Homo-oligomer: A and B are copies of this chain.
């Protein structure tokens, strides 16, 4: 039970404090003893389970199979791809003792699994008949982060990592883009987060990749969150790990690879995008509880109201809704309203003596406040109306988030304007970039804004800093 004695900080007043408080009060996660480690509590994990099921179904529908690879990676394996080890080395945790003995070679806890998976793939791939190889794994990974925050940046986190191998460069690129669009669909359709998609600049690319494609979400505080990425690895890893196959002409050649990942970080995004001063706001498709029944009783009618609430609960549960009924006798209805709003339950169903008399119930939606969010529904038509309402809420949450994103995406015509937007309004800033690391870094140093992505549709323009010709990029301060 959430203790409503504590009052949630307003999101607008202190988004950072609001976030940490909400994670705790809604029992989503809790701090572990080792810096940067967390337990994901049942209510938070239920969100992850629903995301997992949705993604996994889509992976299988696109021909992928799950597998599992070892947690521990020998140091020598990580060193095989030079850029890769350079990118991850500062964040590694090392096992040096096993079974009471010093190990001859240090073992890293996987920060990502390309290097160990490539070692297996070298043996599994012999001929073009073995391709494409389309494998995904669900697992934990660990990156020793300095500053951490539940879900958004944690030392250990859960994710899926897809690792595929293809005969041609074109097929690999197609796969990387296909999985980006699977991610995009899940963000739009399930999480109600209207991410932008595009390419990463070279400096923001995955260590060892030819090209990184990204989904970027805009959080409620105007900062961007890199929500999921898909990498075209080209032949970089195949060369480093000596993966070859006999093609149809009997030539021994290196294949082309992709990798792509989606993590528990998105739960942080979900909180930041949809949450408000009253707490979480969960899209119905993800909500562990779609609707909660709160009976409104007084001493003399408690028995009857309780029975009706229980009856309605069984009826709706049987009809396939994920339901709760709050029969707690310690707290008032008002206290319960606050609690279930804090937990982000999409719909509250109130039922009292008058409603029983009138053969109706009151539906209150979480995404719209005040009178507008409240409707009286005849008892008989309740399941149908609830089904429709959940659909409306899902759509409305995406519409609200899209509206917010559009209102907070601005074009800058000069570097002065660029700096002003980043400093005062935040959000996405669209501006041409000349493609050099130099201007990218200057902008980052002076404004803390980074290039979130380069849109797929190329748009020419003059760089605001250098005046040189370039292409449009989307900038933002990021998590």
Contacts and interface: CB of A to CB of B under 8 A. Distances in A.
Interface of A: 1, 30, 32-34, 37-42, 45-46, 48-49, 65-74, 77, 89-100, 106-107, 109, 116, 119-120, 123-124, 129, 135, 139-140, 142, 144, 146, 156, 158
A116 B92 CA distance: 22
Oligomeric state, in copies: 2
A420 B109 CA distance: 48
Contacts of A99: 90-93, 144, 146
A248 to B, nearest CB: 13
A307 to B, nearest CB: 23
Contacts of A40: 67-68
22 contacts: A30-B124, A32-B116, A33-B77, A34-B72, A37-B70, A37-B71, A39-B120, A42-B65, A42-B135, A45-B66, A49-B66, A68-B158, A71-B109, A71-B142, A72-B93, A92-B98, A93-B97, A94-B97, A95-B109, A96-B96, A98-B144, A99-B146
Contacts of A140: 71, 139-140
B70 A38 contact: yes
**Most-contacted residue by chain B among A37, A39, A69, A96 (CB, 10 A):** A39
Given A45-B65, A156-B72, A97 B100 contact: no
Contact of A156 (B37, B71, B93, B144): B71
Nearest to A264: B68
Of A34, A91, A94, most B-chain CB atoms within 10 Å: A34
A92 to B, nearest CB: 7
A441 B67 CA distance: 41
A106 B95 CA distance: 10
A97 B97 CA distance: 11
B65 A32 contact: no
A71 B97 CA distance: 16
A98 B107 contact: no
Contacts of A119: 33
Nearest to A44: B67
Given A91-B99, A94-B95, A70 B34 contact: yes
Contacts of A92: 98-99
A323 to B, nearest CB: 15
B96 A100 contact: no
Contacts of A71: 37, 109, 140, 142, 156
A67 B158 CA distance: 12
A431 to B, nearest CB: 35
A15 to B, nearest CB: 25
A158 B33 CA distance: 23
B42 A66 contact: yes
A133 to B, nearest CB: 9
Nearest to A330: B129
A443 to B, nearest CB: 28
Nearest to A136: B42
A352 B71 CA distance: 47
B93 A65 contact: no
Contacts of A124: 30, 41
A42 B68 CA distance: 8
A142 B99 CA distance: 11
A36 to B, nearest CB: 9
Nearest to A48: B68
Given A72-B37, A123-B30, A67 B95 contact: no
A94 B32 CA distance: 18
A424 to B, nearest CB: 35
A109 B45 CA distance: 21
A140 B71 CA distance: 8
A91 B92 CA distance: 22
Contact of A33 (B41, B49, B74, B129): B74
Closest 5 CB pairs of A and B: A99-B144, A42-B65, A37-B70, A94-B97, A32-B70
